[in-house]
Amino acid sequence: MRFKHLFKKDKIAIRSFIKELINSYSLLVDSEKVLDTTTGKLKEIFPELKLYFFKKIDDDFVYNYQKESIHIKKNSKLLHWLSQNQVCLKLSGAITEYIKMDIQAIADLEPQIILPVMLHNRIILIAVISNCKNCEKYLDFFNTIFQLMALAWESTEKVNRQLKQLNNDYQQKKMAMVGRMSSSIAHEIRNPLTSIRSSIQFLSTLLEEKDVKNLVDNILTEVDRINDITKDLLNFSKPKQIVMGIVDLKKILDDIIKLYQQELNEHNIKIYIDLPKDTTQLIKGDQDNLKQVLINFMQNSIDAMEFSNERKISIEVTKRSDSTGIFKWIDTGCGMSNDIIEHIQEPFYTTKKHGTGLGLSIVKQILEQHSYILEIKSKINKGTIFSFNLDFIDSKKKW
């Protein structure tokens, strides 16, 4: 066998290594674990080896390194060379000169070998190998391992797609049932509620005693609160129709800050906005519905910072490519445990004293109608990050 010299024992040890690797892959349903397992097994043979896998995000290949993202760009000479040749790239000679600008982007990884991981004649990952003594001698071995890894990667991705589809089907059925029930309840409550409010208002005009009038005002306030709950139920059960258009993200943020400025001042909450300076702030979406999403974020953050020493909201937008980006809403509130995060987007789930628990369910619903995905990260007593992907629009082009 070609790789016998890598092992201390005979061919049986080689077969054992490959068998153990395949057995390990067979137990995995997480593609990230496939990469970790591959790295771990290779380190059994090459203890000093450093291995970095760049994953495809949009059209770029990206590796998260020390809290920063290193990109191999879609239009780079490096990616063009790998796509055309589909073989290992040894960083020496004329080829290094050809792609030297692209190599600078990954220089911190001290690459020796750049190897495209192929599946069905396309690159699914890019492996950057460093700190490997006599690395070039073992390229056939690395290729064989990465071919097995690619098959395992594809298998886990397929399993995850199927699980996601099953979960989506289940959630859609559950939401449809909850929606019908919510609509029915809301209508049944709203009709008598209108009569109750009208009757109390009429009685209020006949009352003169101040304490009794105050009591009537309190009743009206609670009636209005019930009415707000029924509005949430109806919004959830019959979501507004999304009308996609061009939305000025900066203008929406400015409008919401003006709307909440007095409340922000009263709670001594500072707000910071960091938008890309080199690009348009126009995104694809429905303005009214996206405004509802951001209003929900604002209200959640204000509520969460009631007892916080530091009260700050940071709004960040970063570009992932020319047409896509990430929106982040960050607060320094009380934060949430993992158990709460797991359920917080479910309808009627709430940790607040008042509220329907429908706010984030409606947010999730709106963002999914935009093909945007809501993600929530939080730490107790540290704060919460709400984020979702964005589609930018080039104002010079029709879409």
Which residue type occupies 253? L
94-122 core/surface letters (b: 16 or more CB in 10 A; e: else): ebeeebeebbeebeebebbbbbbbbbeee
Give the residue, 399 or 53, on which the prediction is more confident: 53
Most confident of 58-62, 142-146, 186-190, 390-394: 142-146
Judged against a pLDDT cut of 60, whether residue 7 lies above it is answered with no
Tokens linked to 314 = 């940071």
196-214: pLDDT as tens digits: 888 888 878 887 787 887 8
Give the residue, 158 or 93, on which the prediction is more confident: 158
In CATH terms, are 4-162 and 242-399 the same topology? no
Look at residue 10 in the predicted model and tell me its pLDDT: 47
Per DSSP, the three-state class of 368 is helix
| Class of the CATH domain delimited by 4-162 | alpha beta
- Mean pLDDT score of the chain: 83
Judged against a pLDDT cut of 50, whether residue 399 lies above it is answered with no
Q: Which of 173-177, 271-275, 393-397 has the lowest mean pLDDT?
A: 393-397
| Structural domain boundaries in the chain | 4-162, 242-399
Place of tokens 């959640």: 300
Look at residue 376 in the predicted model and tell me its pLDDT: 93
Give the residue, 320 or 255, on which the prediction is more confident: 255
Give the residue, 266 or 224, on which the prediction is more confident: 266
Is 292 in contact with 252 (CB distance < 8 Å)? Answer: no
Give the residue, 241 or 299, on which the prediction is more confident: 299
Query: In the structure, what pLDDT confidence band is assigned to residue 302 with cuts at 50, 70 and 90?
Result: very high
Element (H, E) at 159: helix 139-206
347-385: pLDDT as tens digits: 777 777 666 677 888 888 899 899 999 999 999 999 999
Question: What global pTM score does this model have?
Answer: 0.52
Contacts of 323 (CB under 8 A, 6+ apart): 391, 392, 393, 394
Average pLDDT in the 92-119 region?
A: 78
Tokens linked to 203 = 């009685």
Judged against a pLDDT cut of 90, whether residue 90 lies above it is answered with no
State the CB neighbour count (10 A cutoff) for residue 237: 21
Confirm or reject CATH 3.40.50.1000 for domain 242-399, answering yes or no. no
* Contacts of range 143-148, beta carbons closer than 8 Å, 24 or more positions apart: 143/88, 143/115, 144/3, 145/21, 145/38, 145/41, 145/42, 146/38, 146/115, 146/117, 147/118, 148/18, 148/21, 148/22, 148/25
Tokens linked to 180 = 């019908």
Average pLDDT in the 106-130 region?
A: 88
332, 301, 314, 330: which is closest to 272 by C-alpha?
Answer: 314
Place of tokens 């859609």: 172
9-61: pLDDT as tens digits: 445 577 788 888 899 888 888 888 999 999 999 988 888 899 999 998 878 89
Is 111 in contact with 103 (CB distance < 8 Å)? Answer: yes
Judged against a pLDDT cut of 50, whether residue 112 lies above it is answered with yes
Is 375 in contact with 341 (CB distance < 8 Å)? Answer: no
According to DSSP, the β-strands at 312-319 and 374-379 are unpaired
